[in-house]
Structure 1
């Protein structure tokens, strides 16, 4: 049984701040007199200036409350809003938004090609971020940055700018694997890898940071309200670990005896020949006090040895 706190500590960036350029799939600007009310009716998070700050994380949901994608929306003014997403392409997001524009004074423009994004993590993030924003603005530049809705232990943020920032000399560049190890060890889900089409925000615990239950109507709101009232979901995202190579095939099922209890989502190489992962499991079917077995592909491959139990404490 792997100790969760030791797992997090092993991959934490708290002692050394690092950075890594990441994919920014969509950067849109939404303008017009009706921009605020339009986005308020589409996004799962509260956006009204009187109630929240200018930067907010949330979801685009289907009518059934399933996750279409996630994004951060930044309010520049009453008539100018920016959308940044790492889970949806600009084309998909533009099509989604424009399909709901009927008589609204709203224009959606794709500016993805103008911007780049970086993730930073470590103990220096909180102090560096506001200074960098101020220095960039003083130099006449345009940039955005925010601490992540679910930060890595020690702190993490995402920044967007046209050019790389002047990184502090003692900040090395991290690898993609390092960030994935820290994220998965901490049990932090990512859209769409861990929570995608067909999944609910509550199944990964992301309703706490990405869903407003007080804002009124928006697409998928009725399902969110019903789940909030019932207080339970049928599946939960949990942290798992296994011995040997990282399972390479896309579909990896979790089994207990003859019963399929879930499926592996994110996975990354870990320590001492082990790998780490996040899996979505059935609350009713999975016995959280017992190990689970993994079967790759169509079920004909042999089960992989399990070195860590899936426990309630691992649930995101």
Structure 2
């Protein structure tokens, strides 16, 4: 990397701030992540329903005034706020929507914390590379060159990082996407959906798993995967890198059904292509 690190392309986000003496305790009952252990990091977390199914994928961190900030998809700001405030009854918690007031600058690979006059930084990993989230007031000039959308997407897919509206969708079970590795605490106590997710961990089984593939040109998100000797669906491609590797093939992400867990080759009948599975994630 150069001496001046690059940042991810600008994007909008929903942003909520939770303040008050009950904020940490309340949010620990709403999120899969342990809010007590944030320190100087922005951590991934899931918002799940009573059946353990994904409703939102977010990042949670401490804001400027030691409040708890939650960042999620921009187009779901109202829904996220409604869900996260639904169970506030007698809790001493104030909630503020900061979606229009702050912008996120993620700097992957930065060796030291980035600085801005009116902003603050938290350690974070968003595309599989350790770095920092820099939060600055909306309209602040960004002092870093931006990666292209293609470069950022290629890095994410190569690292096997699931994205909202691609690998992560409402109604799925978070362990299917490997989110149990870094977005779910199994030791903090009760939260909505905790019983189901704990049973999945104990059983050690899911019906499908996120996987990383190598695919030829012509394969696209939404393509069905089949086992070489069967016509039954065994998975689906969800993301394909926009950048080819030196051999002219592309990294891709997708889901493999249980019947295909032991296979390393699949057919894409739509593209007429053979697909190589590199790793279950």
Moved more, 39-48 or 19-28: 19-28
**Residue 113 of structure 1: how far off its partner (Å):** 0.7
- The alignment status of 1:291 with 2:265, answered yes or no, reads yes
Indicate the larger mover: 13-22 or 51-60.
13-22
Match of 1:310 among 254, 262, 277: 277
Deviation of 1:77 after TM superposition, in Å, equals: 8.4
Alignment-derived partner of residue 274 in structure 1:
249
**Equivalence for 1:142:** 119
74-83 or 172-181, larger mean C-alpha shift: 74-83
- Residue 169 of structure 2 is aligned to residue 183 of structure 1: no
Q: 1:287 to 1:200 in 2, by over 3 A?
A: closer
Give the TM-score, by structure 2 length. 0.86
Give the direction of change, closer, same or farther, for the CA distance of 1:287–1:112 in structure 2 (3 Å limit): closer
Within the alignment, does 1:105 sit opposite 2:88 as a pair? no
Which of 172, 192, 199 is the equivalent residue of 1:226? 199
Matches within 5 A, 1:1-316: 17-48=5-36, 51-55=37-41, 56-76=43-63, 80-86=67-73, 89-122=76-109, 125-127=110-112, 129=113, 132-133=114-115, 136=116, 139=117, 141-148=118-125, 151-152=128-129, 155-162=130-137, 163-167=140-144, 172-247=145-220, 251-256=222-227, 257-271=230-244, 273-283=248-258, 285-286=259-260, 288-295=262-269, 302-306=270-274, 308-311=275-278, 314-316=279-281
Within 1, Cα distance between the matches of 2:152 and 2:61? 25
Q: Is the 2:238–2:254 contact (alpha carbons within 8 Å) kept by the matching residues of 1?
A: yes
Aligned-partner SS, 2:111: helix
- Other structure's SS at 1:280 match: strand
Is the Cα contact below 8 Å between 1:238 and 1:281 reproduced in 2? yes
In the alignment, the residues of structure 2 paired with residue 79 and residue 158 of structure 1 have an alpha-carbon distance, to the nearest angstrom, of 16
C-alpha change, 1:294 and 1:22, in structure 2 (3 Å) is farther
Specify every segment of 5 or more residues in structure 1 that has no aligned partner in the other structure, as ranges.
Answer: 1-12, 296-301
Q: Closer, same or farther in 2 for the Cα pair 1:245/1:270, shift >3 Å?
A: farther
Find the aligned partners of 1:216 and 1:52 in 2 and give their Cα distance. 16
CA contact (8 A) 2:219 2:273 kept: no
Cα separation, partners in 2 of 1:223 and 1:77, compared to 1, 3 Å:
farther
Deviations 1:222-257 (A, max 9, x none): 01211121122221111123222352xx63221122
CA distance in 2, matches of 1:269, 1:57: 25
Query: Which of structure 1's runs of 4+ aligned residues deviate more than 4 A?
Result: 13-16, 76-79
Q: 1:16, CA displacement in angstroms? A: 8.3
Q: Which whole-Å CA distance do the structure 1 matches of 2:75 and 2:55 have between them?
A: 8
Alpha-carbon distance, 1:115 to partner: 1.4
Mapped to 1, the partners of 2:105 and 2:63 lie a distance apart of 21
CA distance in 2, matches of 1:259, 1:76: 49
